[in-house]
Structure 1
Amino acid sequence: MKSPATRRTWARGAVGAVVLAVAAGLLVAVGPQGAGAAPADTASGHRWITDRQGRALVLRGLSTASSAKQAPDGMPWIEEKDVVRERRELGTNFVRFLLQWRKVEPSPGTYDRTYLRQVAERVRWYGERGYHVLLDMHQDLYGPRVGGNGAPVWATGTDGLASAPTDPWELGYAEPGTVRAFDRFWGTVEGGGRDLRGHYVGALREVARYFADDDTVIGYDLMNEPWGGSVQGPAFEAGPLARLYQDAIDAIRTVDRDHWLFVEPSAIGSNWGFATGLPRLDDPRADDPRADGDGGGERGRDGDAARIAYAPHLYPLPMDLGGGYTGSTKGQVDRSLRAWREQTEKTARRLGAPVVIGEFGLDVGLPGAMEYVEKVQRMADDMGAGFAYWSNDPGTWAPWDAKLRPTRLLPVLDRPAPLAVAGDPIAYRWDAERKALTVSWRGKAGVRGGTEVRLPARHFSKGGRVEGGVRQSWDPKSRILTLGSGPGTHSVRITPHA
C-alpha cells in the first residue's frame, strides 16, 4: 500500500478506525517472536527461481514504475538511457514492470498488440543489460472510473454508486462505488452481468502468449495488492482470490509452460505481518511430462516442475501510519518485521514457493529510513528472498531525485551481493563493517556456469580478493566477479583488494 505523499494520514475516517484497531492488535500480538534468530540454512527445503543454466537467482531491483498507472499510453517514464544508468549505478538484475489491464484489453475481447509491442521494446532494453523482468498486472483502487488504475472502464460495475476522491488515497478502497466494482469483479454480489474474471484471465493469457518465448521475462505477477471489496480475510483469499489465481494459472499454462507465476496475498494485513489464507495452488506444468525436474535445457532445474512464486509486499504498519524508523516506532517496526517474516516463510512452505518481496519502500527523508532499508535487505538475504524496491520513479522514495541526481538511498541499495549461484545457496551476507561478502553454496549436478557476484566500486574500487574459492573472471565494467563451482560445498569470502 504505497504512496509517497499520503501515508501520514492513513488512519482517518471509518476505514482508518478499523486500521487503527487492527494496528493495535498487531502491535500487541506479534510480540518478540523471531528475535535474535540466526540466518537460516536456505538450502534446506528452500526453492529458488533459476536461470536457463540452472543457477539460483538472487533477484534485486526496482519497480518500474508508478508513472505508468496514469499515462495515456500505459508506459513508464523511462527511456533506454535510464535503464543503462540504473544498471550502471545500482547493478540490479531485476525489474518489476507494471502493466495495465485497461491497456491490454481496451474493449471486451480485443487485445492491444501495439501496447504489448511497446512493453516488449522496454523489456528488450532491460534484457540487453542482463535484467530479469517480472510483468506485473497492476491495480490500485480497481480502475480509473472509480479513481484508481488498472481495470478498463467497461469492466467497472458500480451500480450507480459513487466514489469520491479521498485523502489519503487508500481510503478510496472504502468508497461505495469502489467496493461495488470489486464485488462485481469477484462475483460476490447478486445479479448477472459480464464475466469480468473471465476477461481478466483472458488478458493475462494474452500477455503470456505474447511473451512466452521471451527469455528476459521471468514471469507474471497475477494481480497487484488484491482487494476483496466487501469480502475480506481468509474468506476472500481462500475463496474468490484463490479461484481467480487457479483459473489464471490454468489459462496461462495453455500458452506458456515455462515462465514463473507470481501470486500475492491480500495487501491489508499481510503487508504488516498477519497470516494469509492463501491456499496451495496447482501448476499444470507439474503434470506435464515435458517439464522434467532436472531442467533438461529448460529454464529451471529446481527438482519440482511447478513454477509458482510467492510475492508478498512489506509495509510495516507503524510506518504505514506515518512513522519513521526511530524511537518507540523502531521497536514496533522490528516486531512487525519479525511477524512478517514468520508468516511469509510459513505461507511459502505451504505454497511450495520461493519468495520475492514484490514491494517495499518508504520516503527516504523519514528518520531512520536508511537503517530500515538496510535491515530489510539483510532480512531478505537471510530468507533467500529477492525484492523489488518501490520504485524507480524520481522523487522522495527513489534512488534519484527529480533531476536524476542520486539520493542517499542509492548507496544503500548499491551493495555487494551474489546475482546467480551455481548450485543450492546455503547463505550469503554482506558485512559492511568488515567489508566482506561471504557466499556459500552446494554444487548441483547439471548446473552450468559459475557463481556471479557484483562488487560495487564504492566498496571494491580495485576489485575483490577471493578466499576459499576459485576466481574465474572479473569484469571491471559490470563489476561482476565470477567464481568457479562444481560438486561439494563451497564457502567463499571476498574482501577489497588493497
Structure 2
Amino acid sequence: MRPPAAWRTWAVGCAVLAVAAALLYAVGPKGAGAARADTASGHRWITDRQGRALVLRGLSTASSAKSAADGLPWIKEEDVARERRALGTNFVRFLLQWRKVEPAPGAYDTAYLDRVAERVRWYGERGYHVLLDMHQDLYGPGTGGNGAPKWATRTDGLPSAATDPWELGYAEPGTVRAFDRFWGTAEGGRDLRAHYARAWRAVAERFADDDAVIGYDLMNEPWGGSVQGPAFEAGPLARLYEDCVGAIREVDRDHWLFVEPSAIGANWGFATGLPRLDDPRGDGDEARIAYAPHLYPLPMDLGGGYTGDTRRRVDASLASWREQTERTARRLGAPVVIGEFGLDVGLPGAMEYVEKVQRMADEMGAGIAYWSNDPGPWAPWDAELRPTALLPVLDRPSPRAIAGDPVSYRWDARARELTVSWT
C-alpha cells in the first residue's frame, strides 16, 4: 500500500493538474492537437457506460484455472481485497474455459457461470473492470493443453506429445489436426466455430447487465493449425471473430469485444493481417471493438533477461511491437490493451524491463494485464503470498476514469508525481 506521503504528492499534483487542464483547454484545437501526439495518431479509448476514458491496469487471473477441475482460479475474496490494497489495480483479465462453458454440444453450464459471476462480484465491489477471457493453450485437454472440451477435439489418432518449451506443442500433429478440425480447414473436418460463437452468446447473455464486466476477450492467442500468417488471420480467424461478434451482439449491445492477433509473430513485434471488423452497434465511435495483442519479445520469450546484447535486441523488438500495434489499432479503429506481458522476476534486469513496458503503455494510452496473479516467480507475491520485488514496480498510480479527452499521463517514480493532461 502506498504511504501517505505518496498520496499527498498525488493530491497536490491533481490540484495543479486541474489548472493545467483548464489552461490546455484554453489553448484551443491547435495546442490540444499537438499534445495529443503523445499518444497514437487517431487514438481511441476504452470507455465505461458514462463515456469516460478508462486507463486499465491489472493482472490476469489465473493460470490455475487452466487445469482446475472446476475451471476456476485459486483466488478467494480476501485475495481480491489484498490485491486491491497492495497494487491499487482497477482491471482484471479473468480466464474462462470453453470446456466448462459448454461441457456437451449445445449444453451450457449455468452453475459454472454462476460461480464465475460470484468472482466477478468480488472484483466489481472493489471498483474493478473485469475482462472475461476465453482462454486456450495447445487447444484443449485432449491435446495436452487447456480450453476446448473433449467433444470438440478431433485429432484423428495423431499424437500430441509434451514438449519443452511447452509452446512447441502447437506443432505436434494431433494439436495441428485439432485446430484444423476446429477451423474447418482440414478436408472432411467439422467447422466448430458456430459452437464456439454460441458458447460466447451464452456467456454474454449471463453478463450483459453486469456493470463490473468491461468486455469479452474472444480467444486467447489464436493458432491457425496448418494455416498460418495473413491467410489465417484474414480468413478463418476473422470469420470466427465475425461469428462471435454477431452472436454476442444478439444479447449484449454494450460491452467491449477484445480481439487478438495470431500469437506467433505478433507477440514478438511482427505485422498482423487481422482485418477491420464490423460491430453491429455502428461505425466510428459507436463501435466497441478493442485490440488486445500480447507482448513477449522473442529474446525474453526464450528465457533471457534484460541485460547486454539481449537488452538491445529486446529494445528493438519493443520498438517494432509498438509500431505494428499502433498501426494495426489505427486500421481497426480500436483502442489497445496489452492483454499479456510478463517474465520471471528473478531474471537480470527484470524490474527495469517491466517499468519500461509500463512507460511504453502510458505513452501509447494502452491498458495492461500483467501475467499473472498466480503466486510464484512471475508474480508480485511468492507461494506464501509475500511481496516479491515486482510488487513495488507494478504499484504505480495512473488516472482511472477521465471525463474528457486524455492527452497524456506519466508517473515519475523518483519524484512520486503523476502528471495528467486532458481536454
TM-score normalized with structure 2 length: 0.90
Aligned residues: CA RMSD:
1.2
Counterparts in 2 of 1:224 and 1:43: CA distance versus 1, 3 Å: closer
Note the alpha carbon deviations across 1:120-162, whole angstroms, 9 max, x for none.
0000000000000000000000000110000000000111111
Alignment partners' CA distance in 2, 1:356 and 1:199: 27
Counterparts of 2:358 and 2:189 in 1: how far apart (Å)? 47
Q: Does residue 310 in structure 1 map to residue 291 in structure 2?
A: yes
Asked whether the 8 Å contact 1:357–1:386 carries over to 2, the reply is yes
For CA contacts below 8 A with separation 6 or more, give which structure has more relative contact order. Answer: 2
Q: Counterpart in 2 of 1:114?
A: 111
User: Which residue of 312, 331, 334 corresponds with 2:315?
Assistant: 334
Long gaps (5+) in structure 1: 1-37, 288-302, 443-498
Q: Measure the CA separation in 2 of the matches of 1:51 and 1:210.
A: 19
Residue of structure 2 in register with 1:465 after alignment: none
Q: Which amino acid aligns with 1:54?
A: G
Taking the aligned partners of 1:110 and 1:246, their CA distance within structure 2 comes to: 22
Q: What is the alpha-carbon distance in structure 1 between the residues aligned to residue 168 and residue 230 of structure 2? A: 21
Return the alpha-carbon distance in structure 1 between the equivalents of residues 111 and 409 of structure 2: 42
- 1:43 Cα deviation from its structure 2 partner: 8.0
Match of 1:374 in 2: 355
Q: Deviations over 1:281-333 (max 9, x none)?
A: 0001117xxxxxxxxxxxxxxx7110000000000001112210001100000
CA separation in 1, counterparts of 2:390 and 2:400?
20
**Which of 195, 198, 208 does residue 199 from structure 1 map onto?**
195
1:351 aligns with 2:332: yes
Q: Is 1:225–1:266's contact at 8 Å kept on the other side of the alignment?
A: yes
Q: Is 1:254 paired with 2:250?
A: yes
The structural deviation recorded for 1:437 is: 1.3
- Counterpart check, 1:408 vs 2:404: no
AA aligned to 1:277 is G
Amino acid at match of 1:331: R
Q: Deviations over 1:381-406 (max 9, x none)?
A: 00000000000000000000000000
Displacement after TM superposition at 1:45 (Å) = 2.2
Match of 1:241 among 237, 241, 251: 237
Question: Following superposition, which runs of at least 4 residues in structure 1 exceed 4 angstroms of deviation?
Answer: none
Alignment-mate amino acid for residue 245 of structure 2: I
Amino acid at match of 1:150: G
Residue ranges of structure 2 left out of the alignment (5+ in a row): 1-34
Distance 1:122 1:344 in 2: 31
**Within 5 A, what are the aligned runs for 1:285-324?**
285-286=281-282, 304-324=285-305
Partners of 1:132 and 1:192 in 2: CA distance = 38
Residue 419 of structure 1: CA displacement?
A: 1.1
Alpha-carbon distance between aligned partners in 2 of 1:43 and 1:197, rounded to the nearest angstrom: 33
Please name the residue that 2:143 is paired with: 146
Question: What residue is the counterpart of 1:485 in the other structure?
Answer: none
Q: How far apart in 1 are the matches of 2:310 and 2:165?
A: 21
User: CA–CA distance in 2 between the matches of 1:192 and 1:127?
Assistant: 41
Encode CA deviations 1:60-111: one digit per residue, 9 max, x unaligned. 0000000000000001000000000000000000000000000000000000
Q: Is the 8 A contact 2:181 2:189 kept in 1?
A: no
Cα deviation, residue 39, structure 1: 8.8
Is 1:265 aligned with 2:261?
Answer: yes
Which residue is equivalent to 1:471?
A: none
Q: Does the 8 A contact of 2:36 with 2:407 survive in 1? A: no
Q: Give, as a single letter, the amino acid of the residue that structure 1 aligns with 2:246.
A: D
Given the two structures, how large is their TM-score scaled by the length of structure 1? 0.77
Between the aligned partners of 2:421 and 2:120, the Cα distance in structure 1 is 32
Specify the code of the residue in structure 1 equivalent to 2:68. A
Deviation at 1:436, TM superposition (A): 1.9
Answer yes or no: is 1:432 the counterpart of 2:413. Answer: yes
The secondary structure found in structure 2 opposite 1:304 is helix
- Comparing 349-358 with 416-425, greater Cα deviation is found at 416-425
Query: Contact 1:40–1:383 (CA<8 Å) still a contact in 2?
Result: no
Which has the larger helix fraction? 2
Q: How many residues align?
A: 389
* Cα distance in 1 for residues equivalent to 2:36 and 2:353: 18
Could you say which residue in structure 2 is the equivalent of 1:189?
186
CA distance, structure 1, for counterparts of residue 395 and residue 173 of structure 2:
43
